[in-house]
Amino acid sequence: MEKPLVEPIKSAPNKEIQELVDFFNETLGFCPNSVLTMSHRPHIAIAFINLNKAVMKNEGRVTSALKRLIGFICSESAGCRYCQAHTIRAAERYGAEKEQLENIWEYKTHSSFSEAERVALDFSLAAAQQPSAVDETLKKRLYSHWNEGEIVEMLGVISLFGYLNRWNDSMATRIEDDAVQSGKDWLQPISWEASRHGS
């Protein structure tokens, strides 16, 4: 599409959403156009932002950086260029190692990833597929590194990005300049471009 399916609103419609939008200003450095599009129906935006905050809350070993890398792998699997750029930007801002950002494509073999991280990212890739490719073998691998609560946290991220990938690709959400730059900075191995999310 040449333009988004629905244009984002110009500003938060009420104080409640504005306060919640501040969460993304901290995460990404700007408010995503996806949130401003959802805000045509404020109750959807509010529910989404609160779910995002709950899912991304750092409970321990599933770090904020790993959660963003999980989101990236889901978005790569779905082909959503908008979310690929957002997740790689957020991973950088939340402390992912430069070596991991540069070698996310080789996570299965690159020395900057631990075996626990590899399993988490394999889980992301399998769970993001339709139908899900999570099987007994992957379950055993997961439980060799992560506990039930941590697996729930990871699947929360995967499921959240299932929603976001579908929303942003179908909406053709216009990507923000800072996210475009992050895509160009980190995602050259896939010849990243804004694609349907361009202005």
The residue among 144, 141, 159 whose CA lies nearest residue 67 is 159
Percent of the chain, pLDDT > 90?
78
The domain defined by 15-190 folds into AhpD-like (1.20.1290)
Confidence (pLDDT) at 199: 58
pLDDT surpasses 80 at 144: yes
Q: Is the whole model's pTM more than 0.85, yes or no?
A: yes
Domain extent listing, the chain: 15-190
Cis peptide before 131 (omega within 30 of 0): yes
pLDDT band, residue 86 (cuts 50/70/90): very high
Confidence (pLDDT) at 198: 85
Vertex 184, ends 81 and 127: CA angle to 5°? 35
Confidence (pLDDT) at 24: 83
Query: What tens digit of pLDDT does each residue of 123-142 get?
Result: 999 999 999 999 999 999 99
* Mean pLDDT of the region 73-99: 95
Confidence (pLDDT) at 23: 80
Q: Which of the pair, 178 or 21, is modelled with greater confidence?
A: 178
The residue among 65, 63, 77 whose CA lies nearest residue 122 is 77
- Taking the C-alpha atoms of residue 160 and residue 151, their distance in angstroms, rounded to an integer, is 14
pLDDT surpasses 90 at 22: no
The residue among 131, 149, 132, 151 whose CA lies nearest residue 141 is 151
